[in-house]
A and B are shown apart, each in its own frame.
Chain A
Amino acid sequence: MSDGPDLSHFVQHRQLDAYEQGMARQTYAYGVDLRRSHWLASSSLGNPLVRAVDRAWPTLAGHLMPEAFVPANQPGQPTTELLAELTTLMQLLRAPLPTVRLLRPDQRGRWPLVTPLGATRGGALWLVLDGEGLLALDPSVRAFLIGSGLGHLHCDHGVYFTAHLLAGRREGNAGTRMVRSLMSPWTGVLAFSADRAGMLCCGSLERAVAVIEDPPVPVGVGAAEAEPSWWPRMASTSERVRALHEFARSAVFARLLALRARQREQAMVAEAGPSFAGPAGSMKLDELEDTIVDVEAPANDRPLEPVPNQYVPEQAWSLARVDARLTARLGLL
């Protein structure tokens, strides 16, 4: 009998992880979006159709790798910082582990800064990053973009992006083009969940709204707009911004702010020693030092100032209320 790795143990853990990740996305994602994705991925009618993308995936991946992407572990890629940040955001959302691909230098500008791609139900989840472009951004903007990309993968949106990409390429056939045209009900709502994930990661409504209204455009050969021509048509900017404003009133977002406030408060008594000053609420090291110095100054021998947003307000909206308002506004069933 082999004393090698016990794969059944890992199979069970994978299944448990998938269950936990499913639970986690329900805590923030837009319910209508989740239901539609679930139907498409698992119904006996929708699934065979969307599996057309799955069948085209290996060929697509085989073509994309040499022409546009490099693996994240390619030597010379300055990705450690980016991957460490990605890990933190992944843990925050409880999102699945993506396969990271980085854009080749000659492809910069032809792809968005973050592109989620994949087949159905977690078989393959790719997060394509413009590493240099992302590292040049403000950390909170970067967190929003990566968070929103992770949100798309978390909510099984990768297949929609792949279907649209396929439809615009030679791998695309009549089936995928039909899938694309049939997908508008799904792509019309998928931005809301991803925007929420992005806002949770950057932790600021203002910054999230700013990114949606004025998205950063990657600089490169084919750069013109933030999104390429094959990108799915999503909900309007005004609708997305309004939806985010409502989500910002939810208990989910308030809980995140409270968590950060608690971290700040803990840092004030030097209990926290963050090793990664990421944008997702980790205490900045200089802020930590300032608070310690402030607390210890003899002249400031006073009770600690209460940190704002430390608790979830009682009047915070439930996620169901936020979803219901959005559904009513969109006129969906």
Chain B
Amino acid sequence: MPDQLAGLHDELPLTPLGRLTDASRRLAALARELGHDELAKTITEDTRRRLDDGRVRVVVLGEIKHGKSSLINALLGAALLPVGVTPTTGAVVAIRVDPDRQAARTGTFMLHPDGSRDPLERERFDALARGRRVPIELAGRPIEPAANQGQGENEPESESEGIPELLVDSDQLPATIEVIDTPGFNDIAKFRAAISRSELPRADVLVLVLDATQVLSRSELALIRDALAAVGGLGGSIQDSGARCELVINRIDLVPEDERPRIVAHLREQLDGVIPGDLEPFLTNAKLALREPSDPSPAVQAVAALRAKLFGLAGEGKQILPARARSAMLRSARLLGYNAAIQARALHLERETIAEEISAVEHSMADQTRDLELVRKQILDSSAQIRTASEQRQAAFRRELEEAAKLQISKADLHNLTQVMPGAIQDAFLEFVHGESERLRGELDELTREVFATHGELARRRLYAATLPLGFRGPGLYVEPPAIFIEVGMLALGLVGTILWYFGNAMTGMIMTIASPITTVILREKTVRDARVQAVRVLPDALDAAAAQLGGAVGQAIATHGQGLDEHLMLADRALGDQLVASLLGAARRLDVHEAKLEAIAARRPPVIEAASNTGEGATPPLVSPELPAEVATRRLHERVAAAAQAELGRLEQQHGELITELEALELAGEDRGTDGPAVLH
């Protein structure tokens, strides 16, 4: 596999689209190497849909009973999706034109994860779309539909289920647009299930449907933020994710006309900073638009305008989809990075410990009924506690170091004061930094374990990156050498004394010989006292600066860790447990493979080992010395297996990092990044 990856890398196509396709192949290969086949499949399928098929995915979101399905029906011009008084959509429903243009099928189908479709009776389609548990059977084989799996509101649903699909005529929907209807935001379990199937991250256009009578509840606002984060943000960020967002205020007929501007103003105010640019919501009446599509009322015309805008995207795939593909790949790459870090840390563990962690993850994820918001709050609270405790330790150390330094300064000679003390204070500070970093690592790992039931290398890496520069910040304390006149004075006294001793009269020479050392001692003592005063004076500022930098670095590391946990939760969501287990299993498998490799090498090495014992230094050492006690030999072998496995994973992580850099730097058509040119000339 490494050779395949390397080979792919060597054949970099020149066009941005070709490079995106190539990056997706390499990313999928990396995902498989790391044991995440599902993710690899998603990456491949999404890239194919966006770059090969050129299909734009429009995902319709909103709370229960805000008229999402009604709006889709109005857009399609026919009552194809079930609507009713009770909450309706309970599962993700896909509406598209048959991708097989020759077959050009229409009607209701069950789309299986392997891409195959089976016809579905209308009643069963409606039942599935409503999220009801109905046993169905198709073509002689039982089908466990999406909504059949849940045992309760929070029951995780399997990734391997099918999706109810509605195939429509190409005159109802452009062939390069597919519309996804989703369960209501506040139907949390089902909405999460939608996220777990990666419907949200796979969206290219979000249509947020709000209700005119209750515009933008707090839960709506929070989930809009999540949905936007899932698609990689909208413009305004460093890199345009290509995603589009349209706001619809449905059931506008229930609000008097004079109140409508106030609703729009309220919406703009609430979403300021969440959605960049000028918000121009569509004020619609979807039910009327379906019944009377030619009605001249603004609410019906708004539906027509929305249709024109959405269906108009069919011709803009080339502008939207490459950026979407890149954004989705970066998202997957970030998720892979988190999982690789978990695997990297697991490579240090014994097999039994890995098995225990797998069991813990399975147990934890099976029981996890907590709300995402609660987990986020837990992360924030714990991070704040860790930070406060660290700040207290830092403040205490800062005081102790100042006291200790003043004590040393009061005893130090000139050389120690100017040359050694600044460095010694820096060393003491750095030792505290290392100790503090280790304490924080333990605390952050523990926090990660509370959330995921396992943890990765990320706390260590983040603290390493944050505290490494502190070592190179310098002592901060600089004690100036004695003034030049003192040095020259001492030098001159000695010189004059010596000259007079040899060439002057004996008495003067004797006086000078006695006076010179005394004067020198007095001057030196004054110099040392001055230097001590100066050192004590500059010490507090130097320590304050060092403490401030440490506090900043620690705070940054803790905040980054918390954000990382939050991002990992969002990226993986309900597939989290499976992915964590896959990472741990991947580590165990990698260790097995390398142990087998080492044993194979050892089996072929007896002659070399004999040669080593005969010739001493000249021969290659054995894998594990036969003279070692069994326990030590086992530990050594384990260390070597782990080292080899870590080296292999390190190579994969290096490729992963390069791929992310490459994707971030990739210039797509129409992008003007203002290249800086070369950094160095030869």
By a beta-carbon cutoff of 8 Å, the part of chain A in contact with chain B is 2-8, 10-11, 13-15, 18, 44-45, 48, 51-52, 54-55, 57-58, 61, 71-73, 75, 77, 79-80, 83-84, 86-87, 97-100, 113, 121-124, 126, 132-137, 214, 216-219, 223, 265, 268-275, 277, 285-286, 288-289, 292, 295-296, 301, 303-304, 311
Residues of A close to B110: CB separation below 8 A: none
Q: A11 near B420 (CB under 8 angstroms)?
A: yes
The answer to whether A285 and B677 touch (CB under 8 A), given A99-B474, A217-B682, A270-B598, is no
Q: 8 shortest A-B CB distances, which residue pairs? A: A4-B400, A99-B474, A273-B643, A73-B469, A136-B679, A100-B472, A10-B424, A270-B644
Contact of A5 among B400, B491, B552, B620 (CB under 8 A): B400
Q: Which of A18, A83, A135, A223 sits near B468, CB closer than 8 Å?
A: A83
* A7 engages B408 (CB within 8 Å): yes
Q: What are 16 A-B interface contacts by the 8 Å CB criterion?
A: A4-B399, A5-B428, A7-B407, A11-B416, A48-B491, A55-B484, A72-B472, A83-B472, A84-B468, A124-B474, A133-B680, A137-B680, A219-B680, A272-B643, A285-B647, A301-B604
Q: Are B487 and A51 in contact (CB under 8 A)?
A: yes
Instruction: Beyond the given A48-B491, A80-B468, A217-B681, please list 15 additional residue pairs across the A-B interface where CB-CB is below 8 A.
Output: A4-B400, A13-B424, A51-B481, A55-B484, A72-B469, A73-B470, A75-B556, A87-B468, A99-B472, A100-B473, A121-B419, A123-B419, A218-B679, A219-B681, A303-B608
Q: A14-B420, A73-B469, A135-B679 are in contact. Are A124 and B478 (CB under 8 A)?
A: yes
Say whether A7 contacts B404, CB under 8 Å: yes
* B654 CB–A CB distance under 8 Å: yes
- Near A by CB (< 8 A), chain B positions 463-504 give 464-465, 468-475, 478, 480-481, 483-484, 487-488, 491
A82 to B393, CA, bound (A): 30
Among B123-169, those with CB < 8 Å from A are none
Known: A219-B680, A285-B651. A7 touches B419 (CB 8 A): no
Alpha-carbon gap, A4 to B464, bound state (A): 24
List A contacts of B423 (CB < 8 A). Answer: 14, 97, 122
Chain A residues near B472: list those with CB within 8 A. 72-73, 83, 86, 97-100
8 A Cβ contacts from B444-468 to A: 464-465, 468
Beta-carbon contact of B419 and A132 below 8 Å: no
User: Does B403 contact A4, Cβ atoms closer than 8 Å?
Assistant: yes
Given B403, B642, B646, B681, which contacts A2 in the complex, CB threshold below 8 Å? B403
Q: Shortest Cβ distance from B642 into chain A, in angstroms?
A: 7
Q: Note all chain A residues with C-beta closer than 8 A to B680.
A: 113, 133-134, 136-137, 216-219
B601 near A273: Cβ-Cβ < 8 Å: no
On chain A, the residues within 8 Å of B397 by CB distance are 4-5
Task: Find chain B residues with CB under 8 A from A113 CB.
Answer: 680
A296 to B595, CA, bound (A): 12
Chain B: interface secondary structure? Answer: helix
Assess whether B286 is interfacial by the CB under 8 Å rule. no
Q: Does B65 contact A (CB under 8 A)?
A: no
Counting CB contacts under 8 A, is B597 at the interface?
A: yes
| A133 CB contacts on chain B under 8 angstroms | 679-680
How many Å lie between the Cα of A71 and that of B412 in the bound state?
A: 29
| Distance of A80 from chain B, by nearest CB (Å) | 5
Assuming the contacts A272-B643, A304-B608, asked whether A4 and B401 have C-beta atoms less than 8 A apart, the reply is: yes
Give every chain A residue within 8 A of B651 (Cβ-Cβ).
285-286, 288-289
Which chain B residue shows the least CB distance to A273? B643
Known contacts A6-B404, A7-B424, A295-B601; is-contact A277 B679 (Cβ 8 Å)? no
B473 and A72 contact, CB distance less than 8 A: yes
Which residues of the other chain, B, contact A134 by a CB distance below 8 angstroms?
680
State A105–B623 Cα separation when bound (angstroms): 50
Name A267's closest neighbour in chain B (CB-CB).
B647
Asked if B418 lies at the interface with its beta carbon under 8 angstroms from chain A, I say: yes
Identify which of B418, B475, B682 gathers the most chain A CB atoms within 10 Å of its CB.
B682
Knowing A7-B404, A80-B465, the reply to whether A273 touches B474 (Cβ < 8 A) is no
Q: CB within 8 A of A11: which of B421, B468, B646, B647?
A: B421
| Residue contact A285 to B654, C-beta cutoff 8 Å | yes
Closest to A13 in B: B427
Whether the Cβ atoms of B681 and A223 lie closer than 8 Å is yes
The distance from the CB of A183 to the nearest CB of chain B, in whole angstroms, is 18
- Enumerate chain B residues within 8 angstroms of A217, measured Cβ to Cβ: 680-682
Q: Least Cβ distance of A62 to chain B in Å?
A: 10
The yes or no answer to B549 lying at the interface (CB within 8 A) is: yes
- Determine the distance from Cα of A97 to Cα of B472 in the docked complex, in whole angstroms: 7
Q: Which residues on A sit within 8 Å (CB–CB) of B552?
A: 75
* Cα of A273 to Cα of B648 in the assembled complex, Å: 9
B607 within 8 A of A: yes
Q: How far is the CB of A310 from chain B (nearest CB, A)?
A: 9
CA distance A27 to B1 in the complex (A): 45
Instruction: Name which residue of chain B comes closest to A217, CB basis.
Output: B681
Q: Evaluate contact between A79 and B647: CB separation under 8 angstroms.
A: no
Given contacts A7-B404, A223-B681, A270-B594, contact A48 B487 (CB under 8 A): yes
A216-B682, A275-B650 are contacts. A73–B553 as well, Cβ < 8 Å?
yes
Residues of chain B with a CB closer than 8 A to A10's CB? 424-425, 427-428, 431
Q: How far is the CB of A61 from chain B (nearest CB, A)?
A: 8
Which of chain B's residues have a CB closer than 8 A to the CB of A126? 474
Question: Nearest residue in B to A79 (C-beta to C-beta)?
Answer: B469
Tell me, in angstroms, the Cα distance from A289 to B655 when the chains sit together: 13
Tell me the bound Cα distance from A86 to B472 in angstroms: 10
Q: Does B312 contact A (CB under 8 A)?
A: no
List the B residue with the shortest CB-CB distance to A52: B484
CB pair A97 B471 closer than 8 Å: yes
Residue from the set A13, A83, A271 with the largest chain B CB neighbour count within 10 Å:
A271
CA distance A304 to B401 in the complex (A): 55
A51 vs chain B, min Cβ distance (A): 5
Which residues of chain B are within 8 angstroms of A52 by Cβ–Cβ distance?
Answer: 484
Q: What chain A residues lie within 8 Å of B589 (beta carbons)?
A: none
Cβ–Cβ contact B481 & A54, under 8 A: yes
- Tell me the nearest residue of chain A to B651, going by C-beta: A285
Contact partner of A292 among B416, B418, B597, B620, CB < 8 A? Answer: B597
Contact A14 B608 (CB under 8 A): no
